């Protein structure tokens, strides 16, 4: 069972866009559903007839253990919508909000919130249909949050979002900052209402994003992609995708489809379990949305990779210490594609994590970008093998399938993925793994790989580490201090050392030998914020291992490099 540790309060000090209690904010208790009090009516009722807000400083507090229904879209025009759970000292479940059929349309609303202002949501469970009546799944709608005005901020912290046929979060207008932390995203997609090109965690195709921060989340059961920025017209200026656990994803059109990127991108310390479960294939329908990289496979079709973007030579990339596993069940699906009637030629394989361009940008660091592991998670849903087999089978009876098209005419619920209810994700799912496994200390700083909420004690330590906080961005880019691996490595006789400073300051970069003796001072002086590249010419020293240390302000970092003559 996932434990939301009290240390998440520390995260809030860093993440909350408008802290509670500021600017006259005050709590408004919302009673659980009692037959007539829909959540949307309660919140929308605080607007006057002329559209003015009756109470723009309200913080809507839902009762833990309570159920809430919403049967119409909530539109927060020009004010910040804040919804949280009440405080408690007991282990009381978070309040659950269900999208419920509207009496006029007999369908749930298209989303919970049509964002016309900022949103801050904490400790809330949200489902796209009323789970106590399973038949309502067949009316599932497309999203839970959508931005329909530019420049907005969305914060989701310690929430659970489940059950949409399209995407849990979508930005049809360019947002400023999206922060998703300590959340569970589950059940992304439903073929009874949509196709395999839907079923995403977050779709940010609608323009630029100043900052997209996704840290310490668990994603489970997605059909399409966790991030969709494919075919974008503007940049994600800053991306931080870190310490996420990603389990059981078909990844129909990719895993992280990043499109146009801006100044900085960090993808590290993530745990992947059957996260590209459909595998690398020759499949024109799937490959039609792998085009952003411009790379081709051996058949001249867009090359499939887990992570891809529009190439540029300016984005600073950090992709490191991500660990993946193909489980026996996942491998058995790959093997099944060698058996009629779903034979693959060439055979299905796990595929490559990165494009050639990203490998070249990382240099020697590409060797640690994605590495295999052997960890077993305690309790997670089954791999969506039956859905993926159905997709590959021909139309013809008796084994009718989709014949590798997005059409869903032959689909029925027996081919659905292992869809679970809220109670499973809240009480039973367990994405922890043995502390004796090597990945328990393989993340940056020696922390466990993946969502640290599954290891509450380590999460508490991580939160107290000042280098792990998410600071407020400046010009769309949060402050960073990072020393990169030299390239090439090993080298002879010269190599380049790159580093990034979050702010200007007195900086030194010094090279030492294995005895701790200073070999060279490469930098000593006041440097500006941003990326810096420094060349080290080792013509005058002998072969061997060397260390280089970067210091700026009260921060420091050390890496090693090998000179081979």
363 phi-psi bin (left φ>0, alpha ψ -120 to 50, beta other)? left
Quick check: 429 and 220 in contact, CB under 8 A? yes
Instruction: Say yes or no to pLDDT of 12 above 70.
Output: no
How many other C-beta atoms can be found within 10 angstroms of the C-beta atom of residue 54? 9
CA-nearest of 554, 519, 525 to 539 is 519
Give the tens place of pLDDT for each residue, 399-458: 789 999 998 888 999 999 999 999 999 999 999 999 999 999 999 889 999 999 999 999
Whole-model pTM over 0.85: no
DSSP 8-class letter at 336: H
Give the CA-trace dihedral at 183, 187, 193, 197, to 10 degrees.
Answer: 80
Would you say domain 481-563 falls under CATH 2.60.40.1930?
A: yes
How would you classify the pairing of strands 153-157 and 119-122? parallel
Rounded CA separation 189/186 (Å): 9
Give the tens place of pLDDT for each residue, 361-394: 998 888 889 999 999 999 999 999 999 999 998 8
* Res. 337 pLDDT band, cuts 50 70 90: confident
Rounded CA separation 232/291 (Å): 12
Residues 6+ apart with CB under 8 A from 339: none
Q: What is the pLDDT of residue 488?
A: 87
Rounded CA separation 565/560 (Å): 17
DSSP 8-class letter at 95: P
Q: Where are the domains of the chain?
A: 136-468, 481-563
Residue 97 CA from chain centroid, whole number: 22
Residue 292 CA from chain centroid, whole number: 19
Instruction: Say yes or no to pLDDT of 7 above 50.
Output: no
DSSP 8-class letter at 461: H
Give the tens place of pLDDT for each residue, 29-71: 999 998 788 999 999 988 877 767 888 889 999 999 999 999 9
- C-alpha distances in angstroms, 214 versus 156, 226, 415, 440, 561? 10, 11, 30, 20, 31
Quick check: 496 and 508 in contact, CB under 8 A? no
Give the tens place of pLDDT for each residue, 186-215: 999 999 999 999 999 999 988 899 999 999
Quick check: 559 and 547 in contact, CB under 8 A? yes
Instruction: Name the strand (E) or helix (H) holding 9.
Output: helix 8-15
């Amino acid at each position: 069972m996932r434990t939301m540790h009290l240390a998440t309060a520390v995260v809030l000090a860093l993440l909350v866009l408008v802290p509670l209690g500021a600017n006259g904010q005050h709590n408004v208790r919302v009673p659980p559903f009692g037959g007539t009090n829909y959540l949307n009516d309660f919140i929308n009722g605080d607007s006057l007839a002329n559209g003015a807000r009756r109470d723009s400083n309200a913080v809507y507090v839902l009762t833990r253990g309570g159920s809430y229904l919403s049967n119409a879209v909530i539109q927060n025009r020009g004010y910040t919508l804040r919804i949280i759970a009440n405080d408690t000292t007991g282990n009381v479940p978070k309040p659950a909000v269900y999208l419920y059929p509207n009496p006029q349309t007999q369908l749930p609303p298209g989303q919970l919130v049509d964002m016309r202002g900022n949103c801050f949501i904490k400790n809330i469970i949200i489902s796209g249909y009323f789970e106590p009546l399973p038949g309502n799944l067949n009316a599932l709608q497309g999203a839970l949050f959508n931005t329909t005005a530019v420049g907005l901020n969305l914060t989701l912290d310690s929430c659970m979002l489940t059950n949409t046929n399209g995407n849990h979060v979508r930005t049809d207008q360019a947002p400023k900052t999206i922060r998703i932390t300590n959340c569970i995203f589950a059940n992304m997609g439903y073929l009874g209402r949509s196709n395999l090109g839907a079923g995403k965690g977050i779709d940010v195709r609608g323009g630029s994003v100043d900052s997209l921060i996704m840290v310490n989340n668990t994603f489970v059961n997605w059909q399409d992609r966790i991030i969709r920025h494919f075919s974008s017209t503007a940049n994600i200026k800053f991306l931080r995708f870190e310490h996420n656990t990603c389990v059981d994803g078909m990844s129909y059109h990719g895993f992280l489809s990043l499109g146009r990127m801006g100044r900085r991108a960090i993808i590290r310390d993530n745990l992947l379990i059957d996260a590209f479960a459909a595998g690398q294939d020759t499949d024109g329908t799937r490959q039609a949305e792998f085009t952003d990289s411009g790379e081709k496979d051996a058949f001249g079709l867009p090359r499939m990779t887990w992570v891809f973007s529009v190439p540029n030579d300016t984005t600073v990339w950090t992709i490191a210490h991500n660990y993946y596993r193909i489980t026996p069940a996942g491998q058995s699906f790959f093997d099944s594609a060698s058996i009629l009637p779903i034979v693959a030629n060439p055979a299905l394989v796990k595929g490559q994590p990165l494009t050639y361009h990203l490998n070249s940008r990382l240099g020697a660091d590409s060797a640690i970008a994605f590495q295999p592991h052997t960890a077993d998670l305690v309790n997670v849903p089954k791999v969506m093998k039956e859905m993926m087999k159905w997709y590959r089978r021909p139309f013809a009876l008796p084994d009718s399938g989709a014949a590798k098209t997005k059409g869903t005419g032959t689909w029925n619920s027996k081919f659905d993925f292992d869809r679970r209810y809220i109670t499973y994700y809240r009480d039973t799912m367990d994405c922890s793994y043995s502390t004796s496994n090597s990945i328990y200390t393989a993340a940056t700083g020696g922390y466990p790989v993946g969502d640290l909420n599954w290891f509450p004690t380590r999460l508490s330590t991580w939160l107290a580490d000042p280098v792990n906080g998410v600071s407020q961005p400046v010009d769309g880019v949060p402050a960073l201090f990072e020393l990169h691996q030299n390239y090439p490595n090993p080298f002879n006789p010269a190599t380049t050392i790159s580093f990034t400073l979050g702010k200007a300051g007195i900086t030194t970069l010094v090279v030492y030998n294995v005895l701790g003796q200073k070999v060279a001072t490469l930098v000593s002086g006041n440097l500006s914020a941003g990326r810096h590249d420094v060349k080290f010419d080792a013509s005058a020293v002998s072969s061997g291992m060397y260390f280089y240390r970067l210091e700026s302000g009260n921060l420091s970092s050390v890496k090693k490099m090998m000179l081979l003559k």
